[in-house]
Amino acid sequence: MNKIITIGRELGSGGRELGKRLSEMLGFAYYDNEIITGIAEKTELAESYVKQVLEHSPMASFPITIGHSFYPGVSMSMDQATNIYVEQSNIITEMADKSDCVIVGRCADYILRDRHPFRIFVYAAPEYRIERCRKNVKENEMLNDRQIWRNIRKVDRHRAKYYMFYTGRKWGDKNNYDICINTTNASIKSVAEALVKMLRPEEESPTK
């Protein structure tokens, strides 16, 4: 069975960067936005719409920018969020079948629970998260710290609702993960290196 690492993360905690570094250091495949692209290709829905559904609570409704049904003969009146989640599950399972991999978000820890992935949750203090997010703010947006924090909390609320809706579990609860990492004032590279040492099988000592 392939080795799988799943990463849940608070916005601005550095979880995505950690996932990329782990995949590079371990030689694992890395999946994040590739999942959205895969869903869009299979469903003929716009990537922007798929992303909105996956990043918001399932009860919300969004305009569909491509007027095709989810499957031939299936009405668009069906619950799009549930259909997209089913396709997301199929794609994540296919990715896990291909090779060792790191998967960020998308309820992958729950979807692949029977394969016993190594489940990581990444969190950090508010000031650290604001600073990381500030670096990604477009210059023309000119958001202050209060506005950035408001956006961070909004995204986290949506992630928590989405996770609870489909898994029945509390997002970020330590009982749902193998390790929870506080990246406040930490070097993501150093965190990745420490995890690699823990996850990589010990090399046999040289024969004397």
Domain boundaries, the chain: 4-195
> Could you give the count of Cα atoms lying within 13 Å of 65 in the half-sphere of its Cβ?
9
110 Cβ partners below 8 Å, 6+ apart? 163, 166, 167, 169
Determine which helix (DSSP H) or strand (DSSP E) holds 7, and give its type and residue range.
Answer: strand 4-9
Average of per-residue pLDDT across 192-202: 87
185 φ/ψ sector (left φ>0, alpha ψ -120 to 50, else beta): left
Mean pLDDT of the chain: 82
Residue 191 has pLDDT above 60, yes or no: yes
CATH architecture of 4-195: 3-Layer(aba) Sandwich (3.40)
* Higher per-residue confidence, 184 vs 64: 184
Phi then psi dihedrals of residue 29, to 5 deg: -70, 150
For residue 179, what are the CA distances in angstroms to 119, 189, 198? 7, 17, 11
Closest CA to 121 of 52, 159, 176: 176
Confidence of residue 88 (pLDDT cuts 50, 70, 90): confident
Closest CA to 156 of 185, 122, 118: 122
* Higher per-residue confidence, 34 vs 85: 85
Q: Poorest-confidence range of 122-126, 134-138, 181-185?
A: 134-138
- How far apart are the C-alpha atoms of 154 and 13, rounded to whole Å? 15
3-state percent helix, strand, coil for the chain, nearest multiple of 5: 50, 10, 40
CB 155 within 8 A of CB 52: no
- How far apart are the C-alpha atoms of 95 and 189, rounded to whole Å? 25
Average of per-residue pLDDT across 63-88: 53
> Is the pTM of the predicted complex or chain greater than 0.85?
no
- How far apart are the C-alpha atoms of 87 and 7, rounded to whole Å? 20
Out of 73-82, 130-139, 176-185, the most confident range is 176-185
50 Cβ partners below 8 Å, 6+ apart? 36, 39, 40, 43, 84
